A and B are shown apart, each in its own frame.
Chain A
Amino acid sequence: MDGHLFQFAILFGVLGLAAVASIWLRLPVVPLYILAGIALGGLVAGDEIVEFLGSLGVAFLLFTLGLDFSLHTQARDPARFARSGAIDWLFNFPTGLLVGLALGWTWTEALFLAGITYMSSSAVVSKCLVDFGRAAHPETETILNIMVFEDLVIAVYLLLLNSLVLGSGSGLWGYVGGLAPAALFVAVLIALAWRFSGPLGRLLSTRSDESFGLLLFSFVLLVASAAIAAGLSAEVGAFFAGIVIGATDLKRRAARALDPFLMLFAALFFVSFGAGIDLGAMGAVALPAVGLVLLGIAAKIAGGFLAGLSSGHAPAPSATIGFSLVPKGEFSIVIAALAGSVARPESGIETLTAVYVLSLSIVGPVLMRESPRIWAQGRSLVRRRTRG
């Protein structure tokens, strides 16, 4: 017990300093937490309490993302929403798939990598958009539309991937059997959001903030465990729980109640991800990692740029959209953790993802911040060339 108190004193101290450093460096705090995890290594790695609190953190994080998931705005211009989202998918999903197959991986492993290269980090991107003062910009709507589209796709993707993993080797019926409990789970939750958001809201909305917070925690963890029972991951369950609560009028209160816990526990999630990175194994994946990082950045920028143009933005804001889709984070880590339990260890998928997520969570925000300057410089360079 005493040992744990001291351990957490050090841990929170280091995380606090990392958060201060993020303000100095004008970077989001996520990559600094991961770096802190790498630095702390043995103090954190394999510690059950840190890992458990971290898993609560990622569940709360995905719950909050689910809360904000509403198709209210997107339904107004579904064609534009679908077009920009589809372009982003076309550029980034096949990237991971092809790299995985080129590395000689199985289809399942390559599909995991496809999800990892596809998902941008909603948490990092929306934080950066606010910090860089772009919330009011018109292109921000398109960026967030693409994020919502990614969330929609990833929910279906995780369901299908799940059935692929559970039912592998037992033919078509095996796949269907693997899909059934998960599909049932989603159907029940959609029904809950659709038909019973009223009674559920009344049940949860007690006057005291204390009982509300406790009942909400219980609800999120209950849905997360139901998701595990259905063969899905706890994170996916928490995400759906967020969608259900987001459909009630408790949305804001829920976000407020979770916020302080989210801040602490999500930090522990990123730290234990960092602590789990095997520095020794990095050498073996160095070459594919550099290739994947460069390809990943290029694909996100190109896809975002075209998605921007197709949504009627001028070239400069379209470039900003491209740069803004680069940051990676929570979703890629969650998919990598799922992959780790299934993929062959020799594929190195976990180490590869670690390098990839860490690089893009640093490079992405910097590209985002500097995008107007990069665009202006690039254009004047092209002009000089064409004149000379």
Chain B
Amino acid sequence: MSTRETDLPGIGTKHTIDLASDEELVVVAHRSGQWELARTDAGGDTTTLLHLQAEEGAELGRILSRGEVPESDPHRQLLLDEFSLEWVPVGGGSSLAGATLREADIRARTGASVIAVLRGRESILNPPPETSFAGGDTLVVMGHRDQVERFLETFCPPETG
């Protein structure tokens, strides 16, 4: 596999990835921030597959890069197999909304730890016990897989109705 990068003056940058199937995947990063994905087949015909907005392309990139776990690092692999790190949005109806970290008693009830609270553009790292949660916050929750699952069951029941 090899990747080539070419300038497209006035348009943006073109990345061409040679695929094993004798085809090419072309990714154009438009100057406007949009993304274009196209495929060039073995005969040299190019078909546009997708146009993505800036944030859609960024999300695709995040999903694709998440699967990238270097197998050469056994410790990291073990860590990722056993532990789990979840970004959990607090809904307005969640029992967490309005409660403080102490009141919610998360560690005792589920075993998982809240390691950060993301609120708008600010983030509270290692939140003290008196931190209170509000609807719209995002909690970063860490623990063993089953602990994090218990957390989700307890505080984020599936929406009904």
Interface residues of chain A, those whose CB is within 8 Å of chain B, are 65, 68-70, 72-73, 122-123, 125-126, 129-130, 133, 135-138, 140-141, 144, 147-148, 252, 255, 314
Q: Verify A148–B9 contact, CB threshold 8 A.
A: yes
Q: Verify A68–B48 contact, CB threshold 8 A.
A: no
Given A126-B8, A147-B10, 10 extra CB contacts under 8 A: A65-B10, A126-B10, A126-B11, A133-B48, A135-B30, A136-B28, A137-B38, A138-B40, A138-B44, A144-B10
A322 to B: closest C-beta gap in Å: 18
B106 to A: closest C-beta gap in Å: 39
Indicate with 1 or 0, residue by residue over B4-39, a CB within 8 angstroms of chain A CB atoms: 001111111010000000000010101100001110
Q: Verify B14–A141 contact, CB threshold 8 A.
A: yes
Q: 10 closest pairs, A vs B, by CB?
A: A126-B10, A136-B38, A68-B9, A136-B26, A73-B7, A135-B28, A137-B46, A133-B48, A73-B6, A136-B28
Q: Verify B10–A68 contact, CB threshold 8 A.
A: yes
Residues of B within 8 A of A147 (CB): 9-10
- How distant is the Cα of A70 from the Cα of B5 in the complex, in angstroms? 14
Residues of A within 8 A of B48 (CB): 133, 136
Known: A130-B30, A133-B48, A135-B36. A70 touches B7 (CB 8 A): yes
- The CB with the most chain B CB atoms within 10 A, among A72, A73, A122, is that of A73
- The CB with the most chain B CB atoms within 10 A, among A73, A122, A136, A252, is that of A136
Residues of A within 8 A of B10 (CB): 65, 68, 122-123, 125-126, 144, 147
Q: Verify A314–B44 contact, CB threshold 8 A.
A: yes
Q: Verify B7–A72 contact, CB threshold 8 A.
A: yes
Contact of B6 among A65, A141, A148 (CB under 8 A): A141
Contact of A135 among B7, B8, B40, B44 (CB under 8 A): B8
Q: Verify A126–B9 contact, CB threshold 8 A.
A: yes
B102 to A: closest C-beta gap in Å: 40
Contact of A136 among B7, B14, B31, B44 (CB under 8 A): B14
| Interface residues of chain B: helix, strand, loop or mixed (majority) | strand
Known: A133-B48, A136-B48. A141 touches B8 (CB 8 A): yes
- How distant is the Cα of A125 from the Cα of B8 in the complex, in angstroms? 12
- How distant is the Cα of A136 from the Cα of B44 in the complex, in angstroms? 12
Residues of A within 8 A of B11 (CB): 126, 129-130, 135, 140, 144
- The CB with the most chain A CB atoms within 10 A, among B6, B7, B38, is that of B7
B100 to A: closest C-beta gap in Å: 37
A316 to B: closest C-beta gap in Å: 10
Residues of B within 8 A of A133 (CB): 36, 48
Known: A136-B38, A136-B48. A144 touches B9 (CB 8 A): yes
Residues of A within 8 A of B30 (CB): 130, 135
- How distant is the Cα of A68 from the Cα of B36 in the complex, in angstroms? 19
Nearest chain B residue, comparing its CB with the CB of A251: B31
Pick 22 A–B contacts, CB within 8 A, sort by A: A65-B10, A68-B7, A69-B9, A70-B7, A70-B9, A73-B6, A130-B11, A133-B48, A135-B8, A135-B28, A135-B36, A136-B28, A136-B37, A136-B38, A136-B46, A137-B38, A138-B40, A147-B9, A147-B10, A148-B9, A255-B31, A314-B44
Nearest chain B residue, comparing its CB with the CB of A125: B10
Nearest chain A residue, comparing its CB with the CB of B31: A255
B42 to A: closest C-beta gap in Å: 13
Residues of B within 8 A of A137 (CB): 38, 46
Nearest chain A residue, comparing its CB with the CB of B7: A73
- How distant is the Cα of A47 from the Cα of B6 in the complex, in angstroms? 44
- How distant is the Cα of A65 from the Cα of B11 in the complex, in angstroms? 11
- The CB with the most chain B CB atoms within 10 A, among A72, A135, A144, is that of A135
- How distant is the Cα of A72 from the Cα of B30 in the complex, in angstroms? 18
B2 to A: closest C-beta gap in Å: 14
A64 to B: closest C-beta gap in Å: 8
Q: Verify A138–B46 contact, CB threshold 8 A.
A: yes
Indicate with 1 or 0, residue by residue over B123-138, a CB within 8 angstroms of chain A CB atoms: 0000000000000000
Residues of A within 8 A of B26 (CB): 136
Nearest chain A residue, comparing its CB with the CB of B47: A136
- How distant is the Cα of A283 from the Cα of B12 in the complex, in angstroms? 43
B125 to A: closest C-beta gap in Å: 25
Residues of B within 8 A of A126 (CB): 8-11
Nearest chain B residue, comparing its CB with the CB of A126: B10
A26 to B: closest C-beta gap in Å: 17
- How distant is the Cα of A140 from the Cα of B7 in the complex, in angstroms? 11
B35 to A: closest C-beta gap in Å: 10
